[in-house]
Chains A and B, each alone.
Chain A
Amino acid sequence: MLFKRYRPRFLDYHNQASGMYKSLFNFKQLWKQSISITLVVALLPLVALAIVDYKITKQATESELLLRTARLVSNARRTLTSYLDERKFALNFLVLDNTYDQLSEKSRLSELLDNLKGGFGEWSDLGVIDHHGIQQNYAGPYPLQGVDYSGQEWYKRLNYTDPDSYQDNISMRSNISDVFLGFRNMPHLVISVLHNNPIGLEWLHYILRASLDIDHLSAILSQLEVSGDGDAFLINHEGVIQTPTRHYGGVLEKFPLAIPTPSDRTQVIESRDHLGHQIIVGYAYITGTPFILMVIKQKQNLMKPWYDTGAQLLLFLGCSILTIVAVVIGISTYLVNSIFQADQKRLATLHQVEYANKMASIGRLSAGVAHEINNPLAIINEKAGLIKDLFTFRQEYAGDTRLIGLIDSIISSVDRCATITRQLLNFARNIQVSVQKVNLKQIVTDVLEFQTKEAGYRSLTITVDIADDIPEFVSDRGKLQQVFINLVNNAFAAMKDGGTLEIKSRMGTDGRTIVTTVSDNGCGIPQENIKRIFEPFFTTKSGSGGTGLGLSITYGLVKEIGGEIDISSTVDKGTTFSITLPLKFNAKQGDTDARTTG
């Protein structure tokens, strides 16, 4: 509804004229082209820039995430390595510092365990295993004295290694086990260190073995600040979870995701977890242990701040695009409408000029004809007058009333002709004469003189009611006359035979204007046509010789003499044109297009 009201007129404008009266442009197409070209030029760089920026920022954020994860994994690996190394070296020290006999003493082993616990609280027990794999001495809470470890994989690996090659290499002489439940049925891991001292000719092999609770290991990992609802834990090379996790199962359960490919360095990859969430996986194989450090972060959580910023930017982009579109449409509409109005003005001016030229030609022709007819008329008049004089002054004809009647008839016909030529001359003179003092009543009477014949034939009633207080005022008489001629013609065309035309004139309420109404009781004008009634070429008299110019020119003329014209109409009731004229003449040339184009 609102759009309909403010819909620019050029969108519905169809110019069917040709030649010089054709519009210079197809305004609808011009409008569309203007909008689309401007929009493309304005929006393409903006959108392209936004997309590029979006991608670059996203990549930067993602690589920053990967980098941070890699750093975290590296640091954690270092911490874990040094934690396990410390414990390994502590056992190695005990092996080197004590003889087999000392270690075989129950009290000594208990003392050593106490000392170890004093230094690193998380040791749970300590045992000595001889070269047959039997635990010869044990200090700790579990009944593990005499347990045979010879069948266990770690024992075999330590015991059967060539003694020469690992004499001084602690990593070759030691073993860190997976986390397992064992005899005690508690998750723990075992660190074992092999001792092989030559005693005489024989090598004495024995192993110092200690268990560690995983609590401390778990604590180290849980203290890591893993952002994005992340998880840091250990799995072994077989994919069994070694320390508690938040999302991927309990200790000694199977890790639900694929085991990452072995690598010496810290690695970070993007993947999806078993629930289908996007994750960032950082991992590192911890050398000398069966452990893989895993750091898993939920990408969605990490990217959230970026998504929030992205959403804000998107909103901003959307608003910008909307604003640009609105401004482009607004400006294009305004500019095209201006061109449209200028073009309409040009057309209106062309019509005015053509009309003025036509009227001037008619004026010259009328004047010439009237003048040339006047002379023979004068002769006829005088001759007839002379005959009448002869009849009047000479007694012998005085009695012939029939002859005198004939002469009188000639003289009255000459009078009628003279009236006609006088009107023609008046008409011609008014076309050319410009501003002067005019008498409204006289003008209306002059105009109606031309129309009385037609009114008589069609039994039209014409009433003229012009208030006596209307003074003579300065205006363009010719134009005023044309205005009334056009309006009266228009009313005649609208009325059926027997209709009534009323011309009424009153002083305006402000005392500075004269308001004249020309009303008919004809067919009326439908509401939808009223808006367009003053447009050039708009006609409802199609097929009956209407050019659609009459009211347009009338409108232009009223504007030119500084007046206003309004119309009110009801279908089948009639139409009233109301003309407001200023008492003080104020020519407004150039304003003629105000309605016809706006």
Chain B
Amino acid sequence: MRVLLVDDEEELVSTLAERLAMRGIEASWVSDYRSALDIVEHQVFDIALLDVRLPEMNGLELKRLLEERCPAMKFIFLTGHGSEEDFRACSAESGRDYYLIKPVQIEVLVAKLNEIFQQ
């Protein structure tokens, strides 16, 4: 399972990538949408973990661009907002995407990744 982490908080994503690696999940991280679009040109990812709020482009728009390039890719959103309702309020395709609220517990994240990967 290869996972792409996109978040402008580099400290966060780098640590998260390292922790996932410790659990046998191959994770790459980038901190802006250009790097994200670049990296998918060269590497293949099964799942992308996107921050909802990114500089210049929000997570939902980035998701659409990534989908065009990698149709098989699955997505999980990370949100600093309090609840699912908030997330749905900004997502037109509510219900089909997954979300996790920051700060996220690593066990929960791993379980979610596995669950999506199994599908």
Contacts and interface: CB of A to CB of B under 8 A. Distances in A.
Interface of A: 370-371, 374-375, 377-383, 385-386, 389, 393, 414, 418, 421-422, 424-426, 428-429, 433
Contacts of B104: 378, 381
Interface of B: 9, 11-12, 15-16, 18-19, 22, 80-83, 85-86, 101-106
A414 B101 CA distance: 13
11 contacts: A375-B102, A379-B15, A380-B103, A381-B103, A382-B11, A383-B11, A385-B19, A389-B19, A389-B106, A425-B86, A426-B82
Contacts of A421: 82
Given A422-B83, A425-B86, 19 more contacts: A370-B80, A375-B9, A375-B12, A378-B9, A378-B104, A381-B105, A382-B12, A382-B15, A382-B103, A383-B11, A383-B15, A386-B15, A389-B106, A414-B103, A425-B82, A425-B83, A426-B82, A426-B83, A429-B85
B102 A385 contact: no
B55 to A, nearest CB: 13
B29 to A, nearest CB: 12
B103 A389 contact: no
A381 B86 CA distance: 23
Ranked 8 nearest A-B pairs via Cβ: A425-B82, A381-B103, A378-B103, A382-B15, A374-B80, A378-B102, A371-B80, A379-B11
A543 B83 CA distance: 40
A429 B103 CA distance: 19
A389 B22 contact: yes
Contacts of A433: 85
Contacts of A383: 11, 15
A386 B80 contact: no
B80 A382 contact: no
A211 to B, nearest CB: 135
A370 B82 CA distance: 9
Contacts of A429: 82-83, 85-86
B19 A386 contact: yes
A393 B83 contact: no
B112 to A, nearest CB: 16
A533 B81 CA distance: 39
Contacts of B101: 422
B12 A386 contact: no
B82 A378 contact: no
Contacts of A389: 18-19, 22, 106
Q: Max chain A CB contacts within 10 Å: which of B81, B82, B102, B106?
A: B82
A382 B16 contact: yes
A287 B48 CA distance: 145
Contacts of A370: 80, 82
A383 B103 CA distance: 11
A429 B85 CA distance: 9
Residue in B18, B22, B80, B103 with the greatest tally of chain A CB atoms within 10 Å: B103
A309 to B, nearest CB: 85
A474 B9 CA distance: 39
A424 B82 CA distance: 8
Nearest to B53: A371
A480 B19 CA distance: 43
B23 to A, nearest CB: 8
A44 to B, nearest CB: 69
Contacts of A378: 9, 12, 80, 102-104
B9 A379 contact: yes
A377 B9 CA distance: 11
Contacts of B83: 422, 425-426, 429
A378 B19 CA distance: 14
Contact of A377 (B86, B102, B105): B102
Nearest to B12: A379
B81 A425 contact: yes
The CB with the most chain B CB atoms within 10 A, among A371, A379, A424, A428, is that of A379
Contacts of A414: 103
Nearest to B78: A378
A424 B106 CA distance: 24
